[in-house]
Amino acid sequence: MSTLLNGNANLSADMAIRFEKAFGIKADTLLRMQTAYELAQAREHEQDIKVEKLAKAA
């Protein structure tokens, strides 16, 4: 848990359920927050992500 709280690990579904049981915060809320954080981190280097567009199917 210390690695999670220190920002050195991501929140897993299992850990979210444990937090829900311990603190009463819904696991799905915690996981949405984790996903939003991860997306924000990815957006910081979005310009480095190179992807070719695929052609539309006929």
Q: What is the DSSP letter of 47?
A: G
Q: How many independent structural domains does the chain possess? A: 1
CATH number, position 23? 1.10.260.40
Assess if residue 55 is contained within a domain. no
pLDDT in tens, 1-17: 788 877 788 999 999 99
| Residues 6+ positions from 8 with CB-CB distance below 8 Å | none
Assess if residue 21 is contained within a domain. yes
Assess if residue 49 is contained within a domain. no
pLDDT at 8: 83
Containing structural domain, residue 28? 2-44
C-alpha pair distances (Å), 37 with each of 2, 34, 47, 54: 18, 5, 18, 28
Assess if residue 40 is contained within a domain. yes
Assess if residue 29 is contained within a domain. yes
pLDDT at 37: 92
Q: Give the tokens for residue 45.
A: 């280097």
Q: Give the tokens for residue 4.
A: 């999670």
pLDDT in tens, 10-45: 999 999 999 999 999 999 999 999 999 999 999 999
